[in-house]
């Protein structure tokens, strides 16, 4: 099961990344769980200084942008 985490304070881009990541995972047919971390201290604990950010299975995959659906599929679908 993939663990997908969105890091961000809750801005529109953060919410968009959450929604689009969830959609991409569903389209790939993945078993996944989604989480959102909004606490700035917890976000900085990942070494992230620019939001939004996507973390897949504990690894930061993208920072500071909302990738396209195809990019998201590549980021979350890879083993």
What gap in Å lies between CA 69 and CA 79, rounded to an integer? Answer: 18
Q: Which two tokens stand for residue 70?
A: 């195809």
DSSP 12: H
Q: Note if 62 is an active site residue.
A: no
Q: Does the bond joining 52 to the residue before it have cis omega, within 30 degrees of 0?
A: yes
Select which of 3, 9, 10, 11 is catalytic.
Answer: 11
What gap in Å lies between CA 49 and CA 43, rounded to an integer? Answer: 8
Select which of 4, 6, 14, 72 is catalytic.
Answer: 14
What positions carry a catalytic annotation? Answer: 11, 14
């Amino acid at each position: 099961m993939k663990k997908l985490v969105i890091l961000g304070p809750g801005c529109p881009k953060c919410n968009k990344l959450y929604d689009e990541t969830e959609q991409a995972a569903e389209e790939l047919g993945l078993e996944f769980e989604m989480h959102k971390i909004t606490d700035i201290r917890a976000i900085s604990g990942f070494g992230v200084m620019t939001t939004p950010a996507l973390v897949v299975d504990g690894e930061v995959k993208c920072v500071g942008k909302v990738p396209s659906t195809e990019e998201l599929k590549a980021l979350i679908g890879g083993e």
